[in-house]
Amino acid sequence: MLLELKINNFILIEDLKLKFDHGLNILTGETGTGKSILIDALSGVLGEKMTTDMIRTGNERAILEGVFDITNLPQVRALLDESGIDYDNNILVQRRELYSSGKGRCFVNLTQIPIVKLKEISEYLVDIHGQNEHQSIVKAARHRELLDSFGKLEDKVRHVNELYNKLNNLQEKIDSFKIDEREKARRIEYLTFAINEIESAKLVPGEEQTLETESAILSNAEKLFEEINNSSGLLKDDEGIIHNLKKVERSLLSISEYDPAISNTLDSIRSALYPLEDAAEFLRSYEKNMDFSPQRINEVESRLSLISGLKKKYGSTIDEIIEYLKKSRDELKTISTGDEEIGRLTEEYKAAVKETKLVAFDLSDRRKQAAKELEDKVIMELKDLGMEGTVFRISIQRDFSPDGKIEKDNKTYVLYPHGLDRIEFLISANEGEDLKQLKKVASGGEMSRIMLALKKVILSADIVDTLIFDEVDAGIGGKTAEIVGRKLKSLAGNRQVLVITHLAQIAAMSDNHYTVSKEKINERVTTLVKNLNKTEKIKEIARMLAGEKITEISLKHAQEMVALSEKK
């Protein structure tokens, strides 16, 4: 529901804030006062095109803002959740900014979003019917949704959609096996070669690093031998460090009983001696086991070269090469057993097609039943609205294609995510005329009354909370005008309805009444909007009945009309 509309520097409006409520909201005023500006402003909030000439002269930007209650709109909340946009207390604030440079920005709850996303959200907020339309109901895509909702067919549509996705997934799996036989042979040959090459290498995770270390040792064997031999000699020979430390140990031991302080130094000597003996043993063993044969050098380099070659083909590390081997085995197995798997999947696909056929045709039959009921009810409503002779039909068509998934009576039908049917509402507004698409109905007044009839019938099926009718009274008067007013009043019992009207019969039905006027302020013309109290409402209706000169008779008539509307 639209709670508030804020307009700043837009066409003739300098700064305006309007609050709206449930029920029937009526806007009246003389022709040219700017009632259409309010519709243009709300259309801008909803994402419709804005141009720089809409910016009030002398200003750099126009700002439009709509505040909505989305408590009853789970679809909108889902879209906000998908976009990561917060909404406190189920309040949605949509804001448009247009700059004189031609650039603009869109915001939802202070989060900047692209215009496409703003429009997507707006589809569920407001339907505007009239000359400047933001109306989902003229879009053929919405006709199917409305018919399914009217016929309570949503569960069956979901079932068809699940089967549609299942068929597509199975077809993709089948197609993945169907490769050209020559390509299949080439692929098998390549995979077999790669598997044999990797398997014969008998790779071990981590071995490359070990080999590189060994290669470095072998490449510097002469220097290693020389330095280790020299170091071992310095530690162990007759004049080496260990020999001399042992002499020091024996000397200190012989005198340590005379002075306890010498014992501490003796302990330090022994602490240095034991690790040095371990080091000398390590060097001796290392020297003894050193293998500098050219054969081993060749073996290590050959192994490293083999690994390097495999890395160029199958992965940058041994682990990646081993993973490639696993995937190659799996792919080879899949290709080799492809015919068997294709057979299994094909049988599963046929069973799914058979089930889909039953469900889709059942849904189509139920749509036809719901369409007949909807047609009859809408025609009755149009008759009440002064459009007797208007024909409303729901076209339900199926598309044929050699590539279609569903076959019946030697015909192959295209399956869509929502079933077999293309659905569109058609109208013949005058007797003898051909049926036309809703969007091609010429008269704004006729369009608004058609929308009113559809909304009245499909009320429970349509989730949009706010409906706006502009020129709903075009070309009508008298009894028909009163009927239109009652229809709007009834419609507003479950929705928020905003109506721009020139007819007193409709205005008298209002729950909230606003007048639109133009005044000259600071040498500039400005459009103003005022929310009327009951006394002011009666005067406005009297003006609509009598013109600028309000008489006692027109006032009394207006009082009677308001009183009568309050009783209904």
Are 530 and 517 in contact by the 8 Å Cβ rule? The answer is yes
For residue 190 the two structure tokens come to 């390549």
Does residue 413 sit within a domain? no
Please indicate, yes or no, whether residues 191 and 311 belong to a single structural domain of this protein: yes
Between the two ends of the chain, the Cα-to-Cα distance in Å is: 24
Are 484 and 520 in contact by the 8 Å Cβ rule? The answer is no
222 vs 551: CA distance, rounded Å: 124
Are 12 and 38 in contact by the 8 Å Cβ rule? The answer is no
Does residue 538 sit within a domain? no
99 vs 61: CA distance, rounded Å: 4
Please indicate, yes or no, whether residues 213 and 308 belong to a single structural domain of this protein: yes
Does residue 430 sit within a domain? no
Give the CA distances from residue 466 to residues 3, 70, 78, 435, 455, in Å, rounded to whole numbers and listed in that order: 10, 11, 19, 29, 11
Helix (H) or strand (E) holding 515: strand 512-521
End position of a domain, from candidates 294, 310, 336: 336
Three-state secondary-structure class, residue 463: coil
Residue closest to 13 by CA, chosen among 67, 59, 68, 66: 59
Strand spans (E) along 380-493: 391-398, 406-408, 411-413, 421-428, 436-437, 466-470
**What is the model's pLDDT at position 546?**
84
Residue closest to 244 by CA, chosen among 215, 276, 221: 276
Does residue 266 sit within a domain? yes
End position of a domain, from candidates 290, 305, 336: 336
**What is the model's pLDDT at position 488?**
87
Are 1 and 126 in contact by the 8 Å Cβ rule? The answer is no
Please indicate, yes or no, whether residues 331 and 191 belong to a single structural domain of this protein: yes
Q: Which positions of the chain have pLDDT values less than 70?
A: 130-137, 179-181, 221-222, 237-238, 289, 291-292, 338, 441-448, 459-462, 471-472, 474-476, 568
Does residue 496 sit within a domain? yes
**What is the model's pLDDT at position 106?**
95
Please indicate, yes or no, whether residues 118 and 190 belong to a single structural domain of this protein: no
Please indicate, yes or no, whether residues 215 and 287 belong to a single structural domain of this protein: yes
Dihedral sign (CA 51, 54, 55, 57) = positive
Please indicate, yes or no, whether residues 107 and 221 belong to a single structural domain of this protein: no
Please indicate, yes or no, whether residues 24 and 102 belong to a single structural domain of this protein: yes
Counted residue by residue, the chain has a size of: 568
504 vs 539: CA distance, rounded Å: 11
Residue closest to 199 by CA, chosen among 317, 321, 337: 321
Please indicate, yes or no, whether residues 196 and 58 belong to a single structural domain of this protein: no
Please indicate, yes or no, whether residues 246 and 113 belong to a single structural domain of this protein: no
List of residues 6+ apart from 528 with CB closer than 8 A: 16, 516, 517, 518, 519
Structural domain count of the chain: 2
Residue closest to 56 by CA, chosen among 529, 528, 524: 524
End position of a domain, from candidates 336, 354, 387: 336
Does residue 341 sit within a domain? no
Domain that holds residue 299: 185-336
Does residue 6 sit within a domain? yes
Does residue 161 sit within a domain? no
Residue 149: Cβ-neighbour burial (10 angstroms; 0-12, 13-18, 19+): middle
Please indicate, yes or no, whether residues 98 and 207 belong to a single structural domain of this protein: no
**What is the model's pLDDT at position 132?**
44
Give the CA distances from residue 373 to residues 242, 310, 366, in Å, rounded to whole numbers and listed in that order: 111, 72, 11
Q: What is the pLDDT of residues 322-354, one digit of tens each?
A: 999 999 998 888 777 767 778 888 999 999 999
**What is the model's pLDDT at position 461?**
65
List of residues 6+ apart from 552 with CB closer than 8 A: none
Helix/strand/coil (H/E/C) assignment for every residue in 182-238: HHHHHHHHHHHHHHHHHHHHCCCCCHHHHHHHHHHHHHCHHHHHHHHHHHHHHHHCC
**What is the model's pLDDT at position 475?**
66
Please indicate, yes or no, whether residues 102 and 236 belong to a single structural domain of this protein: no
Residue closest to 450 by CA, chosen among 463, 435, 465: 435
Bridge partners of 34, per DSSP, are none
pTM: 0.58
527 vs 507: CA distance, rounded Å: 20
502: domain CATH number is 3.40.50.300
Please indicate, yes or no, whether residues 77 and 220 belong to a single structural domain of this protein: no
For residue 456 the two structure tokens come to 């009245």
**What is the model's pLDDT at position 136?**
60
Residue closest to 500 by CA, chosen among 536, 544, 556, 439: 544
Residue closest to 503 by CA, chosen among 532, 479, 528: 479
**What is the model's pLDDT at position 117?**
93
Residue closest to 499 by CA, chosen among 9, 3, 20, 14: 20
Cβ count within 10 A of residue 504: 23
**Which stretches within 237-337 are classed as H helix?**
241-255, 260-289, 294-314, 318-336
